[in-house]
Each structure stands twice: as structure tokens, then as C-alpha cells.
Amino acid sequence: MIKNNDFFVILIGRPNVGKSTIFNKILGKASALSSKISGTTLDLNIKSVSYGDTDFLIADSGGFNISPANETEKKIKEKVFEYLKKAGAVLFTVDYKSGFIPEDREIFLRLIKTGADIILVINKVDSPKDARSAFAEFSPLGLKKNIAVCAETGTGIDEILEKITEEINLKKPVKPLKKDESGSFKVAIVGRPNSGKSTYINRVLKEDLLFTDEKPGTTRDSIDACIKYRGRRIILIDTAGIRKKSRLDENSAAFQKQSIEQIKRADVVIIFMDINSEITHEDLALLKKTAMEKKPFMIAFTKWDLKENESGGITELKKDIKFKLKEFSEVPFIFISSKINKNLNKLLDLCIEINDSKKIKIKTKEFNKFIESAKNAGKTGNLYRHISYGVQKEGENIPTFILFAGSKGKIFSMADIKFLRNEIKERFGIKSNVEILIEYKKYNNA
């Protein structure tokens, strides 16, 4: 059932810690039998899961005993450890309310011997306050990948899926570069002071070339650092922190001007924001300035290590972020942590994708075929019916499309433009931001 190219995840833990409930929540349906009776699941239940762009197999192992009391329990134990050899990740599930008991330690020691990649899932954690106690309770295990969940309410299930996705991305084989993917490009890293820009570059370079400090505004000059990654030569530009001019720092306006100059130099821009701080007017102003320069850009929310153990789902957090980003809600963003090495390379991968996709060329015939198809797509076609045809404008920094409409037709709002941008990006697989221009055809007054 499990193929060599399948990423396989297995839930393991002593009886009655809530594995089947977690399994059900992940699947979104009752595919495994949940019960208060210890040892209900007597066999491996393997299901296929799709989360975002990621596919994997997950198994509920059922409660098993390290010291089997009968032949049935012995067979369960043997099957579980047989499948462990095929697992890309193990969700070692424990019960916070029961505490760290000797049987948990015994199972953990057996898992260590298999060389499995272990993610500790602490179930029955009802509040953020309990989460801190839960991590402390199971800290003797020394596991760095810890998630506090409450399976009954579904709290923490998104974090489990995010962690599995991260493990899959880390273990993906590197694809060979195509001939047209060679070359170098510049990435400007900008953001308010103390948002983690220099720390990120230091960690990627693996040497402290850039001085970092907790005091805001430490970086005084922009610095170029060159790295080779996946066959590419990427020049990282660390800029001085952008912030509002104040009496305490008469040079801050100069820093801002310098950072804008570095944005102009860049092929791709990353705006760094501290996930533990509010999205400010300055952040939104920086996004606007970057967009006005017509540069492909994305957002990196930093210091995720201080956030990831808080209660509340990742899905709700993303919705909240999109709401606060306002007109920039469509900008791609990623959570990173230089401290725990979360998504540092993935950020570079996205930079490559964005840099490559900004060069995309859509044939006029293909683009208008898309428009005609959209006109027949039910409700969404109501917007497209005002468009006669469209073309891609050449010679721009980002993919730019001109849509021609009748002057007596609809006046397109910003919400309409945003919708069209997202539709075009999704249809043609464009990772960078795109620009939409509307031109109205004139009618003769005959």
C-alpha cells in the first residue's frame, strides 16, 4: 500500500492518549473509531491526506503496549514497529493530563532506536497556560519538535499539518536545474529595525558577517552578501531598518532613503516583519513603496519560534494576517525563525520561484482563450464580460497585462483588479505580483 515515493506519517503512543481523535481531526471525518475504552483501534488505519500542495499518507497505530499482555497486543506491537521503518515522521502522542509516565519513556526509547524523525504531540492541553506546563512536563525527552493540542476541540491540528508539511519539504530531493534556470539575481531584505534581517542573513551564510543586536537600528549601511544556492548565485542585500523619523535619530530619514535605493537595485524584495508585533502603518507603507517600484516581493514573518507554541490554529492566524495586510492580502508570505532554522531555505526557494515567474511570457492567443473561458464560468464571468480582450505588456519588471474594455461598460474597482490579478496568477502559475492595466475603447458619437 505504501510506495517508495510516498511520505508516510504514523501516530504512536500508549492506549487512550487520543491518537484516533487526532487522526480523525486531520482527516476531517471519522475514519478511525474513537472511544474512551483503552485499546479500541486494533490495526493500522492508513489514509491519504492532501494539505495545500502537499500529499502524504497517515496511519493511526492504535494503542499498543511495550510489554504485550496477550497475542493480539503482541501482533499490534510487531506491526507498528514494522511500519515505523517506512515512516518519514512519527507523531509521538502523549497525554498531558496523565503526565509523563514510565510507559511514555519506554516507548520513546524504542522510537529513538529506530532512528525515526519524532514530533512530540502533547494532547489534552486546554489553554495557552497549560501549554507552557505541558512543554515543561515532557522536556526530559529533549525533543525540539513539540506541539500542544486539544484533539477534542481541534486546537493545534493545523500546527501538526504545518509541521508535517515542513518535514516533507525538508526531505524532498533537489530537482536538477534546467538550462534556463541559471544566472544570478539580487534580493533586498527590508523591514523595520529589529525585524531579524541581519540575523537571517548570518544564519544562511553560517557566519557572523553582519553585526546583530537587540537594539533597533544596529545596521547602519546596506551590505551585499553573495551565496550559491541550488545552482544560483544570489546576492542578499541587507538594508538599514526603515522607520519613522524621530527626534531621537536624525539620520532615520537617510536610512529610509538608502533602503528605498536598495529596493530599486533588487530583482526580488523580501519585507521582514516580526510575527510577534502588530502590522503597522510603516509596514504597509513599505509594501506600497515596493509595489510602486514594480518589484516582485513577498513577506517573511520572523521570530516564529516565539509564536508557534501559542494556542489557536494556523489557519485563523493566516486569515487575521490577510485581513490586517488590507490591499496587500494577496502578497505571498511565509513564517520563519532564524533561531530554530524554520523555513530559512524555503524562503530562498520562494525567491527563486518569484524571480523566475516574473519573466513569464503569455502568448496573446493563450491569454484571450483564458478570458473567453472565464466569461462562461458562472458568476465569475460577470466581471469578464466587460473585457473585450487582453495582452501582456512587454519590457516590465513584473508580469503586466492590459485589459481592454468598452468605455460604456463597467468601471473597475480595486476589488475587481485584485480579483483579476489573483485569477491570472492562479491560471498561469505566476508566483510574483502582477499588474493589471485597464484601457477603455472609445466609441464614435454617431
User: Mind listing the pLDDT tens digit for each residue in 209-258?
Assistant: 444 444 444 444 456 778 888 888 888 887 654 444 443 343 456 556 66
Q: What percent of the chain has pLDDT over 70?
A: 78
Per-residue b or e along 91-129, where b marks 16 or more CB atoms closer than 10 Å to that residue's CB:
bbbbbbeeebeebbeebbebbeeeebebbbbbbbbbeee
Q: Could you tell me which of 206, 184, 4 has the C-alpha nearest to residue 85?
A: 4
- Cβ burial, residue 427 (10 Å; 0-12/13-18/19+): middle
Longest dimension (CA), the chain: 95
Q: Which amino acid is residue 97, in one-letter code? A: K
- Cβ burial, residue 68 (10 Å; 0-12/13-18/19+): middle
Per-residue b or e along 148-161, where b marks 16 or more CB atoms closer than 10 Å to that residue's CB:
bbbbeebbbbbbbb
Q: What percent of the chain has pLDDT over 90?
A: 26
Does the pLDDT at position 297 exceed 90? Answer: yes
Q: Which of 30-44, 181-195, 336-350 has the highest mean pLDDT?
A: 336-350
* Least confident piece of the model among 54-63, 141-150, 273-282, 309-318: 309-318
> What is the structure's pLDDT at 96?
95
CA atoms within 13 A on the CB side of 211: 7
Average pLDDT of the chain to the nearest whole number: 80
Residues 6+ apart with CB under 8 A from 204: 227, 236, 344, 348
**CA–CA gap between residue 444 and residue 407 (Å, rounded):** 11
The domain segmentation of the chain, as residue ranges, is: 8-170, 180-357, 364-441
Q: Which amino acid is residue 2, in one-letter code? A: I
CB 297 within 8 A of CB 290: yes
φ, ψ for residue 4, nearest 5 deg: -60, -30
- Rg (the chain; Cα; Å): 26
φ, ψ for residue 164, nearest 5 deg: -65, -45
CB 397 within 8 A of CB 355: no
Does the pLDDT at position 269 exceed 80? Answer: yes
Q: What is the pLDDT of residues 327-369, one digit of tens each?
A: 888 889 999 988 888 888 889 999 999 998 888 899 999 999 9
Q: Could you tell me which of 327, 235, 241, 247 has the C-alpha nearest to residue 284?
A: 327
pLDDT band of 142, cuts 50, 70, 90: confident
Q: Do domains 180-357 and 364-441 have the same CATH topology?
A: no
Give me the residue label for grid cell 498531558. Answer: 96
End-to-end CA distance of the chain: 72
Q: What is the CATH number of domain 8-170?
A: 3.40.50.300
> What is the structure's pLDDT at 15?
85
- Where are any strands of DSSP class E within 196-320? 223-229, 232-238, 268-274, 297-302
Residue ranges in 68-156 assigned as alpha helix (H): 71-84, 102-114, 128-137
CA angle (121, 111, 115) in 5-degree steps = 110
> What is the structure's pLDDT at 172?
63
CB 196 within 8 A of CB 219: no
Task: Please state whether the predicted TM-score (pTM) of the whole model is above 0.85.
Answer: no
CATH superfamily of 364-441: K homology (KH) domain (3.30.300.20)
- Which DSSP letter does residue 125 get? -
**CA–CA gap between residue 58 and residue 47 (Å, rounded):** 5
**CA–CA gap between residue 47 and residue 9 (Å, rounded):** 10
Does the pLDDT at position 409 exceed 70? Answer: no
Q: Which CATH number fits domain 180-357: 3.20.20.70, 3.40.50.300, 3.90.1300.10, 3.40.50.720?
A: 3.40.50.300
**CA–CA gap between residue 57 and residue 355 (Å, rounded):** 32
